[in-house]
Amino acid sequence: MSFATAMEVNVEARRILAVSISKLYASRSQRGGLRLHRSLLLSMVMRSARDIYHSSRESEQPNGEQPATEEPMDTNCDPKEKARLTPDLADTSADMAPGVSDKLDESDCDITEDKENLSPAKQSRKRRGKASAAPDFLPSKRARLEPGEERYAAPVGSCRAGVGDYRSALTLNQVIPAF
Amino acid sequence: MAAPGGDMQWCFSQVKGAIDDDVAEADIISTVEFNHTGELLATGDKGGRVVIFQQEIENKSLPQFRSEYNVYSTFQSHEPEFDYLKSLEIEEKINKIRWLPQKNAAQFLLSTNDKTIKLWKISERDKRPDGYNLKEDDGRYKDPNSITSLRVPVLIPMDLMVEASPRRVFANAHTYHINSVSVNSDHETYLSADDLRVNLWHLEITDRSFNIVDIKPANMEELTEVITAAEFHPHQCNTFVYSSSKGIIRLCDMRESALCDRHTKLFEEPEDPSNRSFFSEIISSISDVKFSHSGRYMMTRDYLSVKIWDLNMENRPVETYQVHEYLRSKLCSLYENDCIFDKFECCWNGNDSVVMTGSYNNFFRMFDRSQRRDVMLEASRENSKPMQVLKPRKVCAGGKRKKDEISVDSLDFNKKILHTAWHPQDNIIAVATTNNLYIFQDKVN
């Protein structure tokens, strides 16, 4: 990819990410509650945009310098958001895009286990994840920070996960007006 | 059923609904459905109301004067509710209406909002009792001392009254939003589907339902696919299909196991890599699935196309029709204005030779499978003179716009036709714009 097109794609990806975040936020106040289908589609677009953003960033940096890794965030937002926005800690961004896609693709709807005869322990449908450290009914609402990172004052009611994750991609000035 | 000698011509017949441009949100039509004879046409709206139109039968013998549809019954099916546990409002919008086949004098239909399905009985009353011994005509009780003789009350004719009463309420079975309801060919059971589950009900039993499909992953973070529509096979009571947001249709046989998580057949067309974009996943999401009347085929609608599948061939559809290919280059704008999330429905005509679906700018399309012809028509007040023939419309994708063509950028994306229905036995179609219902019929020479 030429540098110019990589830039265009980069800008486009960032724009789509910003639009998607504002849609995700707006859907939380929609009448009838969060629509799972719509949230899923939004998160897929965001994932594509993020992947393309990262791969275009790569071509922007031909000296091999890695773009900033994204921090995992504890959130009680839409679980779909979390799936899309929290890649494996150990991976760098460069490996992340295909790595995350693979991991998510694996968990496609090919679950062939016999649901009727599972032991109760296995059948648990509880949402596991970083929130399970705390009691289930008190999920942590605060973002987990990396060492050296500062907590910033976000507007009340803002979707922190959405904002924080894309700190590397979008400046706060761009994202906060979206709310 | 096609008019002899080629192209069918469609004429305006009627339009129902308010004329003014300021659309009240409650009046937005959310579903349209003919009953099995086509005599009744039901619509549901965002305000939770159901309006049923009936075709007058007087002029059946004169084919050129097809009878009009007039309001038969109107009732409030669902009310807004509040889920206190989740602090969520439950919309009263009617997502689907499905008629039951008629068994006696009354008509029955299922109507559903996001969470609750109701069975409604619509019955006619054209007689009333007269001549009570203890009551006056106006209902006041008579003085017992004034009664000197007894008589038998008689039934006397009265003006037709159509009553709708809820006979069953099927509630509390869906965690997610209900998108489909389908009556089984056994006429005793029906299915309801939400984003992650499909439930089987018996029409007589409201306090329990059987879960027959469950695609909820153990960890919701691993969710990649949701159910978008489901339908029973028209003849095989053990068979149903459900479509997904990934563009996959699964056919299940209820005889195989109690929980139909393993499909019997899986219909999926490999993606065309040249069409890949940010929005490939959204536009491949199936918004509607409908079996043909014959039961041999099924049709799916995704954002840009209609596909016909042969149930005996899983790896690709047998026919694909592009509804509005000119929108493919506009997907980013359509994402920004939310139109890309619109869920278009599709329908078959009575003999499965033509399929129909809606588009934007109040356009709708028909694809004639046998004659390999298609047409785009418009539902508008301007073309609403009685029996006015609809002129085919064309959209110019780019470059030079011919006369009578409309350019893509002039399309009104607020005017969308999501719901259409075709009379099961005749060439009469019902097309819903935002808040109006248009009825068209083919021109009989």
- By Cβ distance, the residue of B93, B219, B245 closest to A41 is B245
- Put simply, the answer to whether A31 touches B222 (Cβ < 8 Å) is no
Q: DSSP secondary-structure letter at B408? A: G
Does the predicted TM-score (pTM) go above 0.90?
no
Residue A41 one-letter amino acid: L
Q: What's the CA gap between B323 and A168, in Å, rounded?
A: 40
Q: Which two tokens stand for residue B374?
A: 């298609």
Mutation site, A36, A52, A85, A136, interface B, largest B CB count within 10 A: A36
Residue B89 predicted with pLDDT over 50: yes
CA distance A12 to B202: 51
B224–A40 CB contact, under 8 Å:
yes
Rounded percentage of chain B residues whose pLDDT exceeds 70: 96
Q: Rounded distance, CA A153 to CA A169, Å?
A: 19
The residue length of chain A stands at 179
Rounded Cα gap, residues B305 and B303, in angstroms:
6
Reported as a pLDDT band with limits 50, 70 and 90, residue A51 is confident
Q: Which residue of B has its CA nearest to A81?
A: B221
Is A168 near chain B, with CB under 8 Å?
Answer: no
**Would you call A36 and B177 a contact, using CB atoms and an 8 Å cutoff?**
yes
Distance between CA atoms of residues B282 and B266, nearest Å: 20
Decide: residue B41, CB within 10 A, 0-12 exposed, 13-18 middle, 19+ buried: buried
Q: Which has the closest alpha carbon to B337: B276, B388, B232, B411?
A: B411
Q: In whole angstroms, what separates CA A103 from the centre of its chain?
A: 14
User: For residue A151, what pLDDT is reported?
Assistant: 61
Alpha helices for B223-351 (secondary structure H): 280-284, 331-336
Query: Chain B: nearest CA to A84, how far in angstroms?
Result: 8
> Which of B9-18, B141-150, B216-225 is predicted least confidently?
B141-150
Residue B278 structure tokens: 């940010």
Of A79, A109, A115, the CB nearest to B225: A109
At residue B44's C-alpha, the angle toward residues B42 and B46, to 5°, is 165
- Chain A residues close to B336, C-beta within 8 Å: 19
- Beta strand spans in B324-436 (E): 346-348, 354-358, 363-368, 373-378, 394-396, 405-407, 419-422, 428-432
Give φ, ψ of A166 to 5 degrees: -100, 20
Average pLDDT over residues B382-404: 86
Size of interface A-B (CB pairs under 8 A): 101
- At B272 the pLDDT is 86
pLDDT band, residue B183 (cuts 50/70/90): very high
Band of residue B66 on the pLDDT scale cut at 50, 70, 90:
confident
Residue B13 C-alpha, separation from nearest chain A C-alpha, in angstroms:
36
pLDDT of residue A109: 35
* Partners of residue B262 in chain A, C-beta under 8 Å: 112
Answer yes or no: do A108 and B224 touch at CB < 8 A. Answer: yes
pLDDT of A64 > 50? The answer is no
Contact state of A32 with B91 under an 8 Å Cβ cutoff = yes
Q: Select from B42, B44, B45 the least CA-distant residue to B53.
A: B42
Residue bearing the bigger pLDDT, B266 or B258: B266
Q: Count of residues for chain B?
A: 445
> Is A165's pLDDT higher than 70?
no
Tokens coding B195: 């984003």
Separation in Å, CA of A123 to nearest CA in chain B: 7
Question: Which of A108-112, B11-15, B124-128, B182-186 has the least mean pLDDT?
Answer: A108-112
Domains of chain B listed by start with CATH number: 12-121+168-442 (2.130.10.10)
Give residue A125's pLDDT.
52
Residues in chain B whose Cβ is within 8 Å of chain A: 83, 86, 88-91, 93, 114, 176-177, 195-196, 214-226, 228, 244-245, 257-259, 261-262, 278-282, 285, 332, 335-336, 338, 341
Please check whether residue A5 touches B, CB under 8 A: no
Token pair, residue B124, equals: 């006619």
In this structure, are residues B364 and B356 in contact, taking their beta carbons and an 8 Å threshold? yes
Q: For the segment A68-122, what is each residue's pLDDT rounded down to a tens digit?
A: 444 334 344 444 444 444 333 333 333 333 333 333 333 333 334 444 454 444 4
pLDDT of residue A56: 79
Residue pointed to by tokens 């086949």: B101
